[in-house]
Amino acid sequence: MTQDIEFVYDFCSPNAFLAYKALPALADKHRVRVKHVPVLLTAVFKATNNQNPFKAFSENRQKTAYLTHDLHRFARARGISFHMSPHFPVNTKFAMRGAVFASGKSWENKYKDAIFDAIWVHGQKVDEIGVLTEILHENELPVRKLREAMTSVEVKQQLKEQTKAAVKRGVFGVPSLFAGSEMFFGKNSLGNLELELSKGS
Q: How confident is the model over 101-137, as pLDDT tens digits?
A: 999 999 999 999 999 999 999 999 999 999 999 999 9
* Rg of the chain (C-alpha set): 16
The predicted model scores a pTM of: 0.95
pLDDT digits (tens), the chain, 201 positions = 456 899 999 999 999 999 999 999 999 999 999 999 999 999 999 999 999 888 888 889 999 999 999 999 999 999 999 999 999 999 999 999 999 999 999 999 999 999 999 999 999 999 999 999 999 999 999 999 999 999 999 999 999 999 999 999 999 999 999 999 999 999 999 999 999 999 865
Is the sign of the CA dihedral 92, 83, 14, 113 positive or negative?
A: positive
Q: What is the Cα 15 distance to its own chain's centre?
A: 8
**Which pLDDT value is given to residue 57?**
84
Q: What is the Cα 108 distance to its own chain's centre?
A: 13
Is the sign of the CA dihedral 81, 83, 87, 91 positive or negative?
A: positive
**Which pLDDT value is given to residue 29?**
94
Q: Which domains does the chain have, with CATH numbers?
A: 5-199 (3.40.30.10)
Residue-wise burial string across 57-80, b where 16 or more C-beta atoms lie within 10 A, e elsewhere:
beeeeeebeeeeeebeebbeeeeb
154 CB-near residues (< 8 Å, 6+ apart): none
Comparing CA positions, the residue from 26, 25, 7 lying closest to residue 17 is: 7
Instruction: With beta carbons less than 8 A apart as the criterion, state whether 83 and 118 touch.
Output: no
Q: What is the 3-state secondary structure (H, E, C) of 159-175?
A: HHHHHHHHHHHCCCCCC
**Which pLDDT value is given to residue 1?**
45
3 CB-near residues (< 8 Å, 6+ apart): 32, 179, 180, 196, 197, 200
**Which pLDDT value is given to residue 201?**
59
**Which pLDDT value is given to residue 83?**
97
